[in-house]
Homo-oligomer: A and B are copies of this chain.
Amino acid sequence: MKIVDYQESPTHKYDSEAAKGVTGRVVIGKEDQADNFCMRVFTVEPGGFTLRHTHDWEHEVFVHSGKGQVYRKGEWRDIQSGTVVFIPGNEEHQIKNRGEEDFVFVCLIPSGAPEI
């Protein structure tokens, strides 16, 4: 059994015109012999956003803290601490922070997809 605070996991930073102010962490993955699916935690700074993109695997998202929005079929929908989002494969998506504090969400993907 692995027990760790998510903030102890190594960080991957995204800061460009396409994805701004985002820190990603793989917290449970192949290194842990998690063979079926992978847990990552993302922190989006105020004003930040993830890449808008599409891929053939799904996301299962749980919002841990903060206030954000998710892009869904041409519009932005508010999401916040306690919101669950299921993004099926091949559906375009993007997440941004709409608050004054960090926006933190858990995002799981099936094995086979890139872990980060």
Contacts and interface: CB of A to CB of B under 8 A. Distances in A.
Q: How many copies does the complex hold?
A: 2
Secondary structure type dominating chain A contacts:
strand
A76 to B, nearest CB: 11
Looking at A4, A7, A39, A60, which has the most chain B CB atoms within 10 Å of its CB?
A60
Contact of A1 (B27, B39, B41, B93): B93
Given A84-B27, A84-B28, A106-B106, A3 B58 contact: no
Nearest to A110: B36
Interface of A: 1-7, 9, 27-28, 32-34, 36-37, 39, 41, 58, 60, 62, 64, 70, 72-73, 77, 79, 82-88, 91, 93, 106, 108, 110
